[in-house]
Structure 1
Amino acid sequence: MEFNSNVEYKKSVCPLDCPDSCGIIAKVVDGRVESLAGDPDHPYTQGFICRKMRRYPERVYSPDRILYPQVRIGKKGEGKFERISWPAALELLSEKLKKIVAQYGGEAILPYQYAGNMGVLNRNAGYGLYHKLGASRLIETICSAAAGKGWSMHYGDVPGSPPEVAADTDLIIAWGINVKVSNVHFWPFIAAARKQGARLVVIDPYRNETAQAADQYIQVQPGGDSALALGALKYLVETNRLDRKMLAEQTTDFATLEGYLQATPWEQFTSQSGLDKESIAAFARLLAAHPKTFIRIGIGLSRNSRGGMSVRAINALAAALGLFSGQEGQGVLLSSKAFSGDTDKLRFPELADTESRLVNMAHLGHALTALQPPVKLFFVYSCNPLSVAPDSSMVRQGLLRDDLFTVVHEQVMTPTARYADLLLPATTFLENKDLYTGYGHFFMGCVDKVIKPVGEARSNFDLFQDLARTMGFTDVPFMQTAEERLQQYVATMEGVPNGYVFNPDEFSGWVESTRKRTGEAVMRRWDTAFAFKVAAEEAATEGAPAIPCLLEADEFSDKDLCSRLPLKLITPPHMDLLNSTFGDLHRGKIGEVLIHPKDAALYEIADGAEVLLENNRGKCLRLAKVSEDTQEGLLVAEGLFWQTDKCPTAINELTSQKTTDVAAGPTFHESRVCISTKSIDYG
């Protein structure tokens, strides 16, 4: 690629963990990214990007950008480092890995990575070496494990409905998703439908930006989504408003669920949902009156102890309404599941001699402090675990261990990077090649770097290839080029059109998945009936009920905790952050916490006051925002703002390492806390 003084406009793709996976145009002047804009040629994102990504060049050229390899010279957490060369860094890390494997075994190495870069090449770059070393294996649960399992238990690998279907609907339900914050490119389809007379209903525990713009807002209790969905279905059964012929043709075992609904008292549905019977009935009647309904399900509603069940219950309601029938304007979207390939072609499990132990990434605090045999080397890339992992006080304790060697491959000086023993500079998506697929739409694209790497930054792929070779490994995967690995993976992909020729060396347009389903019933397209009752073996494996049903909450229903920690806390996304990414652009900001006026009065908290949130796990400082947008007894702390000098903790100090009802995902939206304005002591 030639870099000259001419202005160039180059295509790229947003790499962040967002369903939109936007097409981007980078304006490059003299080899430097001057601005980012949406790609008008992208069929879904259609020429605009969120305000977060418009600021991304600030991250690329940030004064906090890590530009070269460094070793720690101060105390852990101080963020004091000394520059070294790449050959020295690779040799140091190579010797450290060899020594640990020889002395403690490969399982003493714990990798930690997730979706800081969603490119299929760089996201999976480290696995081959980890398998070769026999490292502990990370169970990647931190985002969508419970939601995905809740869907697949009843519908297998069936993809979600194309978002474009929503433009022709009469009723859109945004269920547990703040579209204007975390799925902004779905909003134009909502706007198009409303222009034709459709209604937007938002279901969420608090009145977020999307709810404020809705035609109707339904305030459900946190984790009460199952009760609302099943309560609505109970009403539809009792009032004989279901299409029995459709149920017989497209579903199985509805009678089992029907029997449960008839036998369960209404009081259980109202108490768990936080809504009275008439409100649930009104919602059910609204659904019955609008056959052309589209439900957009958010992943966030699954991050509690009943999270998988929430998705299961909503899907059961949707199936009973016939929303998988393929009629105009009907649909349900959780994840598009547009493309899938053989990840063994990216991760190379055959390089492992034996299966090593599994570590749930939601249990990082435990892994770094109490796991036996202990972790001796912690390797982080594409993630900022001190900010994003639950129970971060335990994570910090682990990072402070004198006998733990921590390697962080990162772009900017994150809270985690400050605890590194070896700090390595990583490229941004603008500085490396990769293939990106969206999970909120049905398109993919392969793009090259648009600028040379800043400083001495290396991509995840290049880092692990270089490290493997430094260690003397000559296995075929470690000899591959980026282009060869992408070619190998794409050859296995489902959803790629017939006749598609993949060329990793040049942009070949936005590729539409063949798994996109419009105007066709799931039963006809996939030969799959919606199973209201899952197989006994799968239910037993998950330790879950065979049918969608009501479950008691874990922490929210714990009477001992209720008496000592009277307030519920959820931690949804913030408009200016994507998980913890962009925290560097808001350094020093502690974030707000929404509190209901009645709670504010009870605890004598004024709007704008500094407040301390505490529980048995930790404490965190926030600014109170007194608002009726939340409900009484519920605190809402948007965003994973970084730790500050004034407040060396952040919101995940308060969240639990307990996991969801299925798939062992994290329970970020189920914490009990107390709130006060007492003096803040971090001593």
Structure 2
Amino acid sequence: MEIKYSVCPHDCPDTCALRIEIEDGKIVKVAGDPSHPVTKGVICEKVRAYPERIYGNRILYPMRRTGKKGVGAFKRISWNDAIDEITGRWKELISKYGSESILPYSYGGTEGIINKASMDRRLFNKIGATALDRTICSAAGSLGYQLAYGESKGVNPLDSVNAKLIIFWGINALETNMHQALLAEAARKNGAKIIAVDVHRNKTAKWADDFYMILPGSDGALALGIAHIILRDNLENKEFLEKYSFGFDEFRKKAQEYPPDKVAGITGLSKERIEHLAKLYAETKPSFLRIGNGLQHHKNGGINTWLISLLPSLTGAWSDKGGGALKSNSGYFPLNEQALKRPDLMKNASRTVNMVQLGKALCELGSPPIMSLYVYNSNPAVVAPNQNLVIKGFGREDLFTVVHEQTMTDTAKWADIILPATTSFEHSDLYVSYWHTFIQWAVPVIRPLGEAKPNIEVFKLIANALDFNDECFSDTEEDIARMALDLPYWKERGITFDRLKKERVIKIETEDYPFKFDKLKTSFCKIEFKSTKVSAYGLSEIPQYNPIRNYPEKYSNENAFNKINSNYPLIFVSPPNHFFLNSSFAGVASLKAKAIEPFLEINPEDAEARGINDGDLVRVENERGGVSIKVKVVNSVLPGVVVSAGLWWKDDYANGSGVNALTPDDLSDIGGGAVFFSSLVEVKKI
């Protein structure tokens, strides 16, 4: 047996180091690398199942569609034929419609920098293709946090063990940030109290010492309510605020508008619970706030994140080691984006399509229309909102679709040309984290299966066939890794690619505190309780709670962000599935067997009103589509809310439609993010 080492490539904050067991050139076991200072050999069961993913239903050769679009009928062809057909069609389309008729579509199928965002950007910049605004997941929350602090940095997670109060807000850490949960458990053994704030009783909520279940999208109101109580009772850190804040006096006035009784009506919490949480947070030191992605997937998600991010500045929590907040630590990993992506290759500025609105781009966009779609590192037929419109677009007979993929996903079935993709165990890549502060390098541990190729090699083949002679299209993986780290930031820390190649894992040395609070990268170099940047979105410069909709009268009489739709009175939320990562791993048989089947959680009050019993098959529907699914009647969701974990593939649902058939392709208040959790539905027994 041979032991080799790698890195988990998936869109997860933990970025785990892996220990790989190999026999006869084949991976037989994927485990955690115990030498990694943060992940310490502990990995999730999804990644432990990787051998099944690698050697299961892999696409091994280039293929051309032979049947009707979407049915998955293909014939093997050579790489030469595939590249010739792709570039031949593109030349025709560019001649007839212009280069913007071509659209690339990708996201976080790999977090490896080289195969995620380097040669692909160079190629499509050189072509002059329509640009993709890749904002579907974290953009709204990241911008909200940056409005306060200027960049995406927070508490070093290793320091969070010093906290005496840990709040997981909008994050099911046991399933989506397991090593932060392990650090919290270590803190609990030292006397820390763990709080969860979320919209349903998930695993983290059950594990926490206390759980605050709030109505979806009401996070900002709760943050303002906490601020109100802190300021009312003079629990703020006046010295910290006086030295480091901008716009605080105006924020104070806004917080005065959110007394506990009003916030209770908005959130579904009692005013006594709100009082308790606010005082616990203000009086417990150090306090650590882990802000998740869940709350940003609402129409008001960006501003809500801004409001929550300001809480540790009210109390001065940043002054304590392990105190403060963490939304993302991606700011510790600046990369030479100019060298990676080469925007200078683009002759003229191209138009941009937001990836959230792929269906609209394929079905409605003109001047020119999208005539070719190149999909990699993503499965938009499952993960993109307004699924039925996306599928309608994929079904266009005049759309030439290329999919570079590892397995026969729902998206791959709609391709005209399929290209076989390597897994991360079959190519080299550079990995950073948006949670811990270690940079990692991984090399292939097995040979590529069949004729699979990594993204970088395919884009180089296409560039060559298009007669692009720029030197950058000859760069190797190691060349690109060197370029990525070619910044003073890395030189100052003594981190070079040659060192990383030798050591595999290097810690970025951080200060005790993530910011110099009098030199922040904000407009006024201070913590901003007021920002002129949001004016571009037509929003108040002082963060305020913007309701998504009217909740039932028993909860709130706030004015609606959207009018009540009496036909669809329930709020639909589709959180991550424990056994999948977005739609990745949803094709792995052993994990599907553990997940059993899709189901919908509904409160007994709502179930009784509709004559629904536990185990019934129901139809969840709205104006965009419908999903047939079994129901569980539970108290783990509030009345007026229904929850179904995604992202199963479409064929796993009784009617062949997944949860994103219900989600809107609207954009968040700031950042252009997806609003998956701002769906309104009705549930009917079948």
C-alpha spacing 1:505/1:53, structure 2 compared with 1 (3 Å): same
Once the two structures are TM-superposed, the CA of residue 251 in structure 1 deviates from its matched residue by 1.8
User: Which residues of structure 1 form unaligned runs of 5+?
Assistant: 1-6, 679-683
Q: Contact (CA 8 Å) 1:432, 1:448: kept in 2 or not?
A: yes
CA offset digits 1:63-91 (Å, max 9, x no partner): x2100000000100000000000111111
Determine the structure 2 residue equivalent to 1:370.
364
Supply the AA of the counterpart residue of 1:468: A
How far is the alpha carbon of 1:111 from its aligned partner?
A: 0.6
Residue number in structure 1 paired with 2:406: 411
Assess, with a 3 A threshold, how the Cα gap between structure 1 residues 248 and 399 changes in structure 2: closer, same or farther: same
Counterpart-to-counterpart distance in 1, 2:245 and 2:511: 18
Given candidates 8, 32, 41, the residue that maps to 1:38 is: 32
Q: Which moved more, 1:646-655 or 1:13-22?
A: 646-655
Question: Shift in Å at residue 153 of structure 1?
Answer: 1.2
Q: Does 1:25 align with 2:19?
A: yes
Distance 1:674 1:606 in 2: 16
Aligned to 1:96: 89
Q: Among residues 542, 565, 573, which one is paired with 2:576 in the alignment?
A: 573
- SS of the residue corresponding to residue 305 of structure 1 reads coil
Match of 1:106 among 96, 99, 103: 99
Residues 224 and 258 in structure 2, CA contact (< 8 A), matched pair in contact too: no
Task: Give 2:507's aligned amino acid.
Answer: E
2:599 counterpart (592, 604, 607) = 592
Corresponding position of 2:612: 605
Structure 2 equivalent of residue 4 of structure 1:
none
Over 3 Å counting, the alpha-carbon distance change for 1:420 and 1:520 in structure 2 is closer
1:303 Cα deviation after fit: 0.5
Q: Does structure 1 retain, via aligned residues, the 8 Å contact 2:244–2:527?
A: no
Cα pair 1:22 1:45 within 8 Å, conserved: yes
- The one-letter code sitting in structure 2 at the alignment partner of 1:670 is S
| Distance 1:244-1:368 versus aligned 2 partners, 3 A rule | same
CA contact (8 A) 2:299 2:678 kept: yes
Note the residue ranges of structure 2 that are not aligned, 5 or more in a row. 552-559
1:458 aligns with 2:453: yes
Q: Structure 1's 611 and 259: CA in aligned 2 closer, same or farther, altered over 3 A?
A: same
Write the distance in 1 (CA, Å) between the matches of 2:39 and 2:490: 20
Alignment correspondent of 1:183 = 177
Aligned mates of 1:555, 1:28 — CA distance in 2 = 57
Matches for 1:14-163 after TM superposition, within 5 Å: 14-62=8-56, 64-124=57-117, 125-157=119-151, 159-163=153-157
Structure 2 letter corresponding to 1:458: K
After superposition, residues 199-214 of structure 1 pair within 5 angstroms as 199-214=193-208
Q: Deviations over 1:292-333 (max 9, x none)?
A: 1000000121010110111111111121011222x1231211
Contact 2:228 2:259 in 1 (8 A): no
Q: For residue 553 of structure 1, give the secondary structure of its aligned residue in structure 2.
A: coil
Residues 49 and 560 of structure 1: CA distance in aligned 2, closer, same or farther (over 3 Å): same
* Shift in CA distance, 84/492, structure 1 to aligned 2, threshold 3 Å: same
The aligned amino acid for 2:466 is M
Give 1:321's aligned amino acid: T
Q: 1:558: Cα distance to partner?
A: 6.5
| Contact 1:292-1:329 within 8 A present in 2 as well | yes
Residue 529 of structure 2: aligned partner: 533
The equivalent position to 2:274 in structure 1, one of 261, 277, 280, is 280
**Counterpart residue type for residue 662 of structure 2:** L
Query: 1: CA distance between counterparts of 2:259 and 2:530?
Result: 23
Instruction: Report if the CA contact (8 A) 1:171-1:198 is conserved.
Output: yes
The residue aligned with 2:557 is none
* Alpha-carbon offset, residue 236 of structure 1: 1.2
User: Which of 610, 623, 642 is the matching residue for 2:630?
Assistant: 623
Aligned-residue offset at 1:648:
1.6
CA distance in 2, matches of 1:100, 1:279: 61
Asked if residue 174 in structure 1 is aligned to residue 182 in structure 2, the reply is no
Displaced runs of 4 or more, over 6 A = none
- Percent of aligned positions with the same letter in both sequences? 37
2: CA distance, partners of 1:635 / 1:296: 25
- After the TM superposition, which residues 229-628 of structure 1 pair with which residues of structure 2 at under 5 Å, given as runs? 229-264=223-258, 267-325=261-319, 327-337=320-330, 338-372=332-366, 373-492=368-487, 494=489, 498-503=493-498, 506-514=501-509, 516-518=510-512, 522-523=516-517, 530-536=526-532, 538-553=533-548, 557=560, 561-586=564-589, 590-628=597-635
Whether 1:652 aligns to 2:660 is yes
CA contact (8 A) 1:134 1:352 kept: yes
8 Å CA contact 2:518, 2:526 repeated in 1: no
> 234-243 or 174-183, which moves further after superposition?
234-243
Judged with a 3 Å threshold, the aligned counterparts in structure 2 of structure 1 residues 484 and 229 are, in CA distance, closer, same or farther, namely same
Deviation at 1:552, TM superposition (A): 1.9
Cα separation, partners in 2 of 1:590 and 1:390, compared to 1, 3 Å: farther
Q: 1:120 to 1:559 in 2, by over 3 A?
A: closer
The question of whether the paired residues in 1 share the 8 Å contact of 2:225 and 2:259 is answered with no
1:415 counterpart SS class: coil
Offset at 1:519? 5.3
The CA deviation at 1:397 is: 0.2
Q: CA, structure 1 residues 535+210, in 2 after alignment: closer, same or farther (shift >3 Å)?
A: closer
Cα separation, 1, equivalents of 2:491 and 2:457: 27
2:382/2:647 contact within 8 Å kept? yes
The residue that corresponds to 2:556 in the other structure is none
How big is the shift at 1:518? Answer: 2.1
Cα pair distance change 1:505/1:175, threshold 3 Å: closer
C-alpha distance in structure 2 between counterparts of 1:670 and 1:519, whole Å: 35
Please state whether the residue corresponding to 1:612 is helix, strand or coil: strand
Task: State the match for 2:555 in structure 1.
Answer: none
User: Does the 8 A contact of 1:483 with 1:504 survive in 2?
Assistant: no
> Quick one: structure 1 residues 496 and 188, their matched pair in 2 at CA, closer, same or farther if it must change by over 3 Å?
farther
Moved more, 489-498 or 633-642: 489-498
- The count of corresponding residues between Structure 1 and Structure 2 is 668
**Does the aligned pair in 1 maintain the 2:577–2:645 contact within 8 Å?**
yes
Q: Is the 8 A contact 1:341 1:494 kept in 2?
A: no
What is the deviation of 1:608? 2.0
Provide closer, same or farther for how the CA distance between residues 47 and 619 of structure 1 changes in structure 2, counting only shifts above 3 A.
same
- Partners of 2:361 and 2:514 lie apart in 1 by 47
User: Match of 2:660, as an amino acid?
Assistant: N
Equivalent AA in structure 2 for residue 396 of structure 1: I
One-letter amino acid matched to 1:70: M
The 8 Å contact of residues 141 and 664 in structure 1, kept in 2 or not, is answered as yes
Contact 2:246–2:530 (Cα < 8 Å) also in 1: no
Q: Distance in 2 between matches of 1:159 and 1:31?
A: 41
Taking the aligned partners of 2:439 and 2:645, their CA distance within structure 1 comes to 30
CA contact (8 A) 1:242 1:320 kept: yes
The 3 A distance-change label for structure 1 pair 112 and 554 is farther
Give 1:268 deviation, angstroms.
4.1
Report what 1:8 is aligned to: 2
SS at structure 2 position matched to 1:194: helix
